Amino acid sequence: MKYFSSFLTLTISILFTSLAYGSLQFDANVQPGLKSQILHDFNFIQGIKGNNASPLHQRVFGEVDGTNYFAWFSKRVFSVGFNDCGNPAAVACVQEAPNKIWMTNNYIQFNHPQIARLATVYHEARHTEVDNKRWPHAACPTPFKDHQGNNVQSIWTGSFLSGQYACDITAYGSYGSASIFLKNIGKYCINCSEKVMADANLYGNDQMERVIDPVSLKNMITDLNTKSSTLIIK
C-alpha cells in the first residue's frame, strides 16, 4: 500500500508537470536545482485566482488568473537556457535567440520572495516580443531620486540606478508590465497569503518607480488607485 501510494503521487506529479509545462524546454546545462525552482514557481503562479483586474492589467494579461499568466508566458517563451548574462548581478536575460530566456544562478541564490522571482521571468518574457522591438529600456535620470530625495537603488542588488539603462518610458515595457502584474496580484488575489500580497506590492512599487515618463506613471497610479505620495513623479 505504501509503495502504491508513493507510485500514485509520483505519477500525478509527472502528469501535472507534463500538462502544465507542455512545450517549455530546458537546455541541458540548466542545473537541476535551478530547473526545479523555476517549475515550482510556475506551479505556484498557475494557482493564483483573483476577483478583479485593473484596466491596464486587462489589456496586458487579462484577468488576474494563473491560467492567463501561464498562457501569456507560453506564447512568448518556448525554452529556458543557462547563462551568466554578462553581469554578475543579473537574474535573467534575453539574447538573440527567439522565444527564449536565459537564467543565472542568482535566481535561486538571491534571497528574494517567490513572487519577485516570477516577476523577473515575466519581465524577460516581455523582452522576447520582437513586434514591439523587445521593449527596450531607457536610461534612468541623472540624478535619480525617490520622493524622499534619496538615490534610487535596485531592490534586487542595491546598486544605484542613476544613468543606468534600468528604466522604462512606457507602462507597457518590461518594468511597467511587471509592476502591473505584481500590483494587481497584491490587490486582487483572493487565494494568496498576506505575505505574498505584501511582497507583490513592495516589488511592484520598485518596478513602477522605474517608469520615468510622467504621463505613463500617472496613468499607472490612476489605474491602480495608488497614492501618488508613495512614488516618484517627475
Pair 89, 157: CB distance under 8 Å: yes
> Cell match 515595457: residue?
173
pTM: 0.85
Largest CA distance in the chain: 66
Query: What's the confidence (pLDDT) of residue 157?
Result: 82
Query: What's the confidence (pLDDT) of residue 225?
Result: 77
Query: What's the confidence (pLDDT) of residue 42?
Result: 95
Cβ-based burial of 120 (10 A; exposed 0-12, middle 13-18, buried ≥19): buried
List the chain pLDDT tens, one digit each, 234 residues.
433 333 333 333 333 333 344 568 999 999 999 999 999 999 999 999 999 999 999 999 999 999 999 999 999 999 999 999 998 888 999 998 889 999 999 999 988 999 999 999 999 999 999 888 999 999 999 999 988 889 999 888 888 999 999 999 999 999 999 999 999 999 999 999 999 999 999 999 999 999 999 999 999 999 987 543 344 433
Nearest one of 96, 92, 129 to 109, comparing CA atoms = 92
Query: What's the confidence (pLDDT) of residue 228?
Result: 37
Nearest one of 71, 92, 72 to 83, comparing CA atoms = 92
Cβ-based burial of 128 (10 A; exposed 0-12, middle 13-18, buried ≥19): buried
DSSP 95-118: -SSTTEEEE-THHHHS---HHHHH
Pair 27, 162: CB distance under 8 Å: no
Pair 102, 155: CB distance under 8 Å: no
pLDDT digits (tens, 9 = 90+) for 82-95: 999 998 888 999 99
| CA 61 vs CA 58, 158, 183, 203: distances in Å | 6, 29, 13, 18
Note the Cα 142 to chain centre separation in Å. 26
